[in-house]
């Protein structure tokens, strides 16, 4: 396993910047890439828009600037809404690698010269690609989660950045961005900022978006097709989740669950739950929204997503249960019954609210 260094924290507010990824010292990034022949890129399991956009942007950039390098992108199969992004069909996901193809290519990926892990703060979130990451000669983590642990040899972690896609924009040579790379970056940014509605949207974010849309792609189509548009099935599931949600703590919290029976009835997969927890947070008077679904009935394992306003830091709750994220958006997986998990979360929410009262 490569030697780990302490995460490099770069904060735009006080402009503290440390090597190796200083914007004014781009040669360090270039040296890492030019010193490698085989390069891997991966994002977190159950990839969202930012994971897909940032990894594809970096993948396309490296392939364009260094066509002689062998670059491989590992991701769990992203939602089909991202299929129009360049490089989507070249992603290596578990279905392609397992079982027969996986054994055939495993040796090929076991000793990569350089590996970039994007949009994740914990090695365990890499899934199958984690094995290739740990065996790589040089590793890099690029992330914006406040809970990021800095697990790579080089760590570029900016907690107040809107998205990992924004960080990739900072790290690559702007002059070499083309329309396809711009579309990937734009997709990642709009998904992690809620189309520039979330509080993580900064002036810098808007300036970057302004530069990206100048490449001439149909940015409204990307917003509608990848962010707002839902299938009939997704709308059915969202309607059921909202209809069966419960309010508690005097209406300040809302929670809903989709268990294995509902998932089997709708033949639903995890990507069908996108947007549910965000919709729940729009409920008047609600400070925290909690949505969970049963990812493994045999293990009583639930995937939990939380959203909040400024009054509760859900990243602290997620970290307590082995997850992570941001102050207003976080998640984790936990075994137990729905009610037990909800009670555990409720205790932590109440603790934070009581601390603020005192």
pLDDT at residue 263, as a whole number:
94
Instruction: Quote the percentage of the chain above a pLDDT of 70.
Output: 88
pLDDT at residue 13, as a whole number:
30
Banded pLDDT at 356 (limits 50, 70, 90): confident
C-alpha–C-alpha distance, residues 133 and 154, integer Å: 13
Let me know if domain 8-227 sits in CATH 3.30.450.70.
Answer: no
Lowest mean pLDDT among 59-63, 76-80, 236-240, 283-287: 76-80
Express each pLDDT in 313-329 by its tens digit.
999 999 999 998 889 99
Predicted model pTM: 0.85
Cα angle, residue 54 at apex, residues 51 and 57 outer, rounded to 5°: 140
pLDDT at residue 212, as a whole number:
99
Residues of the chain with CATH 3.10.310.30: 232-357
Express each pLDDT in 160-212 by its tens digit.
999 999 999 999 999 999 999 999 999 999 999 999 998 899 999 999 999 99
Express each pLDDT in 85-130 by its tens digit.
999 999 998 645 554 454 446 666 778 999 999 999 889 889 889 9
Q: If we measure between CA atoms, which residue out of 20, 22, 58, 52 comes closest to residue 40?
A: 58
Q: Can you name the residues that pair with 325 across neighbouring β-strands?
A: 330
pLDDT at residue 97, as a whole number:
53
**7 vs 4, 50, 154, 284, CA distance in Å?**
9, 21, 7, 39
**188 vs 74, 205, 354, CA distance in Å?**
17, 12, 36
In this predicted structure, the answer to whether residue 18 has a pLDDT above a threshold of 50 is no
pLDDT at residue 99, as a whole number:
45
In this predicted structure, the answer to whether residue 12 has a pLDDT above a threshold of 50 is no
pLDDT at residue 296, as a whole number:
86
CB 238 within 8 A of CB 275: yes
Average pLDDT over residues 240-245: 97
Banded pLDDT at 147 (limits 50, 70, 90): confident
C-alpha–C-alpha distance, residues 58 and 288, integer Å: 34
Cα angle, residue 165 at apex, residues 161 and 170 outer, rounded to 5°: 70
Mean of all residue pLDDT scores within the chain: 88
In this predicted structure, the answer to whether residue 14 has a pLDDT above a threshold of 90 is no
Count how many Cα atoms sit within 13 Å of the Cα of residue 101 in the half-sphere of its side chain. Answer: 7
pLDDT at residue 106, as a whole number:
61
Task: Tell whether omega for the bond before 20 is within 30 degrees of 0, i.e. cis.
Answer: yes
Let me know if domain 232-357 sits in CATH 2.40.50.140.
Answer: no
Express each pLDDT in 290-312 by its tens digit.
999 999 888 889 999 999 998 99
Q: If we measure between CA atoms, which residue out of 232, 300, 237 comes closest to residue 263?
A: 237
In this predicted structure, the answer to whether residue 62 has a pLDDT above a threshold of 80 is yes
In this predicted structure, the answer to whether residue 23 has a pLDDT above a threshold of 90 is no
Banded pLDDT at 358 (limits 50, 70, 90): low
**46 vs 94, 126, 135, 270, CA distance in Å?**
12, 10, 23, 8
In this predicted structure, the answer to whether residue 60 has a pLDDT above a threshold of 80 is yes
Average pLDDT over residues 324-352: 94
C-alpha–C-alpha distance, residues 180 and 54, integer Å: 12
């Amino acid at each position: 396993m490569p030697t780990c260094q302490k995460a490099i924290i770069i904060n735009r507010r006080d402009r503290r910047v440390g090597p190796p990824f200083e914007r004014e010292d781009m040669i360090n990034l270039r040296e890492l890439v030019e010193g490698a022949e085989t390069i891997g890129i991966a994002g977190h399991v159950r990839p969202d828009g930012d994971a897909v956009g940032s990894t594809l942007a970096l993948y396309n950039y490296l392939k364009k600037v260094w066509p002689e390098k062998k670059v491989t992108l590992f991701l769990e199969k992203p939602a089909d809404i991202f299929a129009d992004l360049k490089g989507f069909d070249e992603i290596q996901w578990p279905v392609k690698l397992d079982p027969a193809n996986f054994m055939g290519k495993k040796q090929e990926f076991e000793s990569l010269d350089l590996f970039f892990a994007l949009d994740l703060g914990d090695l365990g979130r890499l899934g199958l690609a984690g094995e290739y990451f740990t065996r790589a000669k040089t590793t890099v983590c690029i992330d914006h989660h406040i809970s990021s642990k800095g697990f790579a040899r080089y760590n570029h972690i900016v907690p107040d950045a809107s998205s990992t896609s924004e960080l990739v924009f900072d790290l690559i040579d702007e002059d070499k961005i083309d329309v396809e790379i711009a579309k990937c970056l734009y997709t990642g940014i709009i998904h992690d900022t809620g189309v520039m509605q979330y509080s993580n949207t900064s002036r810098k974010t808007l300036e970057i978006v302004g530069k990206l849309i100048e490449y001439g792609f149909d940015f409204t189509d990307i917003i509608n097709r990848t962010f707002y548009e839902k299938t009939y099935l997704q709308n059915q599931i969202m309607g059921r989740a909202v209809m069966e949600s419960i309010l508690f703590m005097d209406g300040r919290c809302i929670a809903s669950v989709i268990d294995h029976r509902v998932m089997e009835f709708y033949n639903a997969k995890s990507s069908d739950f996108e947007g549910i927890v965000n919709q729940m947070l729009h409920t008047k008077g609600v400070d925290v929204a909690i949505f969970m679904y049963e990812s493994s009935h045999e293990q009583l394992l639930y995937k939990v997503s939380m959203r909040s306003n400024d009054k509760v830091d859900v990243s602290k709750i997620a970290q307590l249960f082995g997850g992570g994220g941001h102050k207003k958006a976080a998640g984790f997986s936990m075994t137990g019954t729905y009610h037990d998990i909800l009670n555990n979360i409720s205790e932590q929410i109440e603790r934070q609210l009581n601390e603020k009262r005192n």
